[in-house]
Amino acid sequence: MFDDYECEGNMTIFDYLYPTFKIDKPIRLIELFAGVGSQAMALRDLGAEFEHYRVVEFDKHAIASYNAIHGTDFPTMDITQIFGSDLAITDTDKYCYILTYSFPCQDLSIAGKMQGMTKGSDTRSGLLWEVERLLKEVKELPQVLLMENVPQVISDANISDFHKWQKFLEDKGYTNYVDVLNAKDYGVAQNRERCFMVSLLGQWNYKFPQPVPLTKTMADYLEDEVDEKYYINSEKAQKLIQQLIESGQLGQQENHNIPCKLDKPYIDGKFVSMTSDELALRDVGTETVGTITARYHKGLGSNGDNAVITQIGAIDIERSQTDRQL
């Protein structure tokens, strides 16, 4: 009944009813869908001391990168093939367990197939419900859960499933806090909105961090001189394009530009779509760069409006950006 009651200074009645959550125990980090460990990087950058306790990532290249970055030696692991006991959550009176689960977004994102995350749908985004299974199987629950995903996770198409997920967590004793945050509001020169949900075991008060001024632009990050080894020469590019044409992945065209783009760059006060070639010809004059559209795809897409980022594409964007000042 107090959900909509607001006090002076944007405080709610829950600020008085619930204590503020604080971590006062050694942290054990469990990363599901770990990728290269961006959550671990965030903790590291905050200066937090923690243990890389469990990492679940099935992609061999991602786990190799994770181990190289963090100095660990985790094997590949398929979340559908593990059990709650494999997470080894014990002694929660002595340790604070933070479990992250940034499940695949391919079936939620507007850059993907948008097939949803319904339980039993057999979609990649539907792997969220493997987390439900694991939380049902563990004998002791982690005190903190962190989800990060595309904003479409709470869109009209997916909100019903998201509410089911929230209800499950509430029934397990968690208090959920959800917000959509943009990287450009937290010191990163990139226009990248993501939905975050922090779930705390018990009744706790939590507030997402306030935005901070953007002090660096893309020009502060881009190098003036880029070693030639990071470029693909014309001969190799033409050979690759010919292979893609012969395999049918790329249509016959007179001019094959490397088909990559920035998704909605911010130009003249609005978001627009531009190919890398267009970017090279214009002085964008922007402080933030749009989100790069990326997919797991071998080869290059021929649709410039729905581009696929590959090694060539990433290099082409870097080259065009170094040719003019952002």
pLDDT (tens place) for every residue of the chain, 326 residues total: 223 323 334 555 555 678 888 899 999 999 999 999 999 999 999 999 999 999 999 999 999 999 999 999 999 999 999 999 999 999 999 999 999 999 999 888 766 667 889 999 989 999 999 999 999 999 999 999 999 999 999 999 999 999 999 999 999 999 999 999 999 999 888 889 999 999 999 999 999 999 999 998 888 888 888 887 777 677 777 788 888 888 876 655 544 444 433 344 444 444 444 444 444 333 334 566 665 444 333 333 333 333 333 333 333 333 333 332 33
Whole-angstrom distance, CA of residue 219 vs CA of residue 324: 9
Domains and CATH numbers, the chain: 6-201 (3.40.50.150), 219-322 (no CATH)
Whole-angstrom distance, CA of residue 161 vs CA of residue 304: 33
Active-site residue flag, 195: no
Confirm if 99 and 55 have CB atoms less than 8 A apart: no
The DSSP call for residue 68 is H
Give the sheet arrangement for strand 27-32, strand by strand: 50-56, 27-32, 96-101, 144-149, 193-201, 174-182
Distance, CA of 110 to chain centre: 14
Instruction: Give the pLDDT of residue 250.
Output: 66
Cα distances from 205 to residues 29, 84, 185, 197, in angstroms, run: 21, 28, 23, 13
Confirm if 54 and 142 have CB atoms less than 8 A apart: no
- Choose among 189, 169, 186: nearest CA to 178: 169
Q: Which of 7, 96, 105, 260 is catalytic?
A: 105
Distance, CA of 185 to chain centre: 16
